[in-house]
Amino acid sequence: MKKIYQTVARLFKTKYTAAFMMMLLLMAGKESVSQTCASLSWAGSGLASTTGQGCDGTSYIFNGSGDMVTSSVVSNPQSVSFQRRRSGNTTSWSMVIEISNNAAHTTFTTVTTITSISESCVSQSIDLSGYAGARVIRFRDTRSSGTHERTISDLDLTCASTFTLTYSGNTNTAGTVPAAVTAASTTLAAAGSLVKTGFSFAGWNANAAGTGTNYNAGTSYTISSNHTLYARWAYTVAYNANGGAGAPATSTAYNAQTTTVSSVVPTRAGFIFNGWNTLANGTGTAYNAAAVSVQNVIVFIQTDAGRFFQNFQSIIA
């Protein structure tokens, strides 16, 4: 800062230089803590000026064990940077940087411990990106003895932007969609009570048609904007040779998409293949090859002249 003042003095060699310099000094003396998180404030141990014991910016004095400086509640802290300095004595000193770990912000987890403090101003930055959600950060003096001053200066806390993720049941027939989440990241919700008749839950998709990116429930998800994820509903068509052989493989489709009934022809000695039916005795819904299906179904071989392969389980819808 002194070099800046000297430079200004050389540039403004007028009778107003002294007044201009005094204005700069007053402004520096009132410099505030950098607030890069919404509604951030710090409170706790006494404040020092920008001269003397402190470093750049506002300085907080720690005179003994238990002294602390605590932030207001912030969302999704990413890092905290600061400068630290001790007075000229050699008394040992330790300090912990802690972060709240419960909703009431009454219990804390130690992020790191500072045990060596220089007489010079030392800059330090601590990563907090692993602590999502609403948090409180505090600096706490844990020295065993002594009352000599230590300072933390130029505190700068950064936070990730938060957005809201909304879930859509996407034509569910029963149940409740998971609650919306406002955060920088989240773990994607499971279906919970959400159901759709004839379908099974298959995660989430970026659009209602199911043609966007798929996301599995239970995975970590970054919320980079306000948006909605839609339930992805799956249905299958399973084929049963009904006593024959060569049934096609099960096919799966999603949401409002349709799947075409297989053209593969199974065989059984003494019978002629005559399409598919939802019941083993042929009294259900009949499907021919190239027909379409829009929900979970198991189809059985249907033979000509009303003859059906017997002794198989009924349809499992």
Output the six-digit token pair for 120.
Answer: 């010079």
The SS3 assignment for 261 reads coil
Indicate the domain borders of the chain.
Answer: 1-30, 32-159, 163-234, 236-306
**Helix 2-11 and helix 17-29: axis angle, to 10°?**
160
pTM for the model: 0.52
Per-residue confidence (pLDDT) for residue 15, from 0 to 100:
36
Per-residue confidence (pLDDT) for residue 206, from 0 to 100:
96
Give the helix/strand (H/E) hosting 3. Answer: helix 2-11
Q: 42, 156 in Cβ contact below 8 A?
A: no
Per-residue confidence (pLDDT) for residue 291, from 0 to 100:
66
284 Cα distance to chain centroid: 48
Q: Which amino acid is at 48?
A: A
- pLDDT per residue, tens digit, the chain (317 aa), is 334 334 433 433 333 333 333 333 333 333 333 335 867 888 887 766 544 566 877 888 888 888 999 999 988 899 999 998 877 666 667 899 999 999 899 999 999 998 866 778 889 999 998 887 889 999 999 887 777 778 888 889 998 877 899 999 999 999 999 999 988 789 999 999 999 998 999 999 999 998 999 999 999 998 888 999 999 999 888 889 988 899 999 888 888 667 788 888 888 888 888 888 888 888 888 888 766 665 666 666 665 533 333 322 223 22
Q: 306, 277 in Cβ contact below 8 A?
A: no
Per-residue confidence (pLDDT) for residue 48, from 0 to 100:
60
Per-residue confidence (pLDDT) for residue 12, from 0 to 100:
34
Q: Which CATH code is given to the segment(s) 32-159?
A: 2.60.120.200
The second-level CATH assignment, the architecture, of 163-234 is: Sandwich (2.60)
The SS3 assignment for 306 reads helix
Per-residue confidence (pLDDT) for residue 183, from 0 to 100:
80
